Amino acid sequence: MLAYFSRSTFLLLCSPLFLSTNALATQEVNEESRKIVPAFKAHYTLLHKGDPVGKAVRELSYQEQGKATYHYHTDLKWLIFSDKRSETSKIIVQNNQVIPQHYVYSREGTGRDKNYEWRYDIANKKAQDIKKDRQITLNIAEGLQDKLSYHLQHRLSLIENPKQKRFSYPVISTSGSIKDYVYQYDGEEELMLPYGLVKTIRLKREVTAKKRVTYAWFAPELNYLLVKLYQVKAGAEQFEAQLSSIDK
């Protein structure tokens, strides 16, 4: 059944005043987001046991209608091993909350290539797996993040409350399952990076079942930009990322 609108209501919805008011509200959301975390492009050096083995880029850009794109890609070569990865999250940032809309992941190189694509309708608790042509119902929606968008949400959380000691984010995986990603405050540290000397706070995420520990360093002087990432799995050092430059 078609919804009924009176002539006056129809004229109001189509009026320049109504349209301009909506456009203004959208613009305000965008401007507020830009003030908190301006668009940026950060470059990282990838290392393995102290030796450079590749590059990575993390960037945020804003579009119209309150939308933004958060992107991360890596390219590394080590001995006979090569790996290229790309993640893109289409998002909306509203009231200091990242709302994921569309997630794309690809990986190619040594071993099996992987590709995933998801679309999210958070308001209606729905998610669509494009690759497998299936739709799932989400058992949680509030605060839900994809595997990349939570990185930006984490930065926003630090900006909003830098004294917070524990951060938890419900994250939907590429299989559709939801897990809590928990980070704990792990101290402060001054780092000498390719970018230069920076003061940081260090956070730690431990996944006991996989014997994996991830350390992440954020720089308050750079508006809590991620400046270093380091991972250990089953006691063995994995690859490390260090900030090398930021595009102005």
Q: What is the DSSP letter of 4?
A: P
Higher pLDDT, 106 or 142: 106
pLDDT at residue 21 is higher than 50: no
pLDDT at 23: 47
pLDDT at residue 11 is higher than 60: no
Is residue 156 assigned to a domain?
Answer: yes
pLDDT at 142: 85
Q: What is the DSSP letter of 145?
A: B
* pLDDT tens-digit series, residues 59-84: 999 998 779 999 999 999 988 899 99
The residue written with tokens 């000397």 in the block is 197
* pLDDT tens-digit series, residues 205-246: 998 888 889 999 999 999 999 999 999 887 777 789 999 999
Is residue 18 assigned to a domain?
Answer: yes
Domain that holds residue 175: 13-246
Return the sign of the alpha-carbon dihedral for residues 54, 58, 63, 68.
positive
Is residue 207 assigned to a domain?
Answer: yes
Question: In whole angstroms, what is the distance from residue 60 CA to residue 130 CA?
Answer: 24
pLDDT at 7: 41
pLDDT averaged over every residue in the chain: 87
* pLDDT tens-digit series, residues 26-63: 455 556 767 789 999 999 999 988 899 999 999 999 99
Both structure tokens of 15: 């009026």
pTM of the model: 0.84
How many structural domains does the chain have?
1
Is residue 200 assigned to a domain?
Answer: yes
* Total residues found in the chain within this entry: 248
Is residue 22 assigned to a domain?
Answer: yes
